[in-house]
Amino acid sequence: MFVTGVVLFLSQAYKAYESVFFRTKIVLLVLAAANALAFEYTSRPSVAQWDTAAVPPLPARFAGWASIVLWAGIIAAGRTMAYTF
């Protein structure tokens, strides 16, 4: 997705630059990456301790919800972008 996305972006770079939805999408992508990195360094190392727990610790649950919301937002911004092109 990263590679194909970059190529698609290169083919429409000016239109993308001007699009508020494209900018939103990039912000959300950065946030999704930050969320994944934060999970990797805070919750992931201790996963063995709560792997079978009924409810995972709050930071892990937050990372899960944030991931769903951010990626859904990325799809929404990306798709909406095409309507304004």
Partner 1 sequence: MPHALFPFFQWADASWIGTTVRNSRYWFPILELFHLFALTILLGTTLLLSLRLLGVLMPKQPIPELAHELAPWMRWSIAVVLVSGLCMFFSGALRYYTNISFAIKMVFLFAALVFHFAYFRRIVQRDESSVSPAAVKLAGIGALVLWFGVGLAGRSIGFVG
Task: Collect all residues with Cβ–Cβ distance below 8 Å to 13 and sequence separation of at least 6.
Answer: none
- Tell me which stretch binds partner 1 (CB under 8 A): 2-10, 38-46, 51-59, 72-80: 72-80
Under rule CB under 8 A, how many of the chain's residues touch partner 1?
A: 6
Angle at which helices 58-84 and 20-42 pack, to 10 degrees?
A: 160
Counting Cβ atoms within 10 Å, is residue 64 exposed (0-12), middle (13-18) or buried (19+)? middle
Q: How far is the CB of 4 from partner 1 (least distance, A)?
A: 13
- Tell me which stretch binds partner 1 (CB under 8 A): 11-19, 40-48, 51-59, 75-83: 75-83
Q: How far is the CB of 79 from partner 1 (least distance, A)?
A: 6
